[in-house]
Amino acid sequence: MPRASTFHHDVSDPGRAQRNRLERDSLVTLDAVESARRLGVRVIEVDGSRDAEAEAEADEVGAHLGL
């Protein structure tokens, strides 16, 4: 996302700020996945690494959402 690489306020170390943001996002994601699995909620990981299977991945998400 374009906004993920920009800051809307001054920071003394933009590189560090970006690394911190990415680490925080990773921790939030991990917590959400662990919580969902603990509660028995299905988790479908979509990370862009399955480019060749993008349509199948979209179909899987759509089917899960009833689309």
pLDDT tens per residue across span 7-58:
567 888 889 999 999 999 999 999 999 999 999 998 888 777 766 677 787 8
Instruction: Output DSSP code: residue 67.
Output: -
The pLDDT of residue 11:
85
User: What is the value of pTM for the model shown?
Assistant: 0.62
Give yes or no for residue 3 having a pLDDT over 80: no
The pLDDT of residue 62:
87
For 4-50, the DSSP string reads GG--SS--S-HHHHHHHHHHHHHHHHHHHHHHHHHTT-------S--
Domain ranges for the chain, please list them. Answer: 12-64
Task: Give the contacts of 56 (CB within 8 A, at least 6 positions apart).
Answer: 50
The pLDDT of residue 20:
94
The pLDDT of residue 6:
61
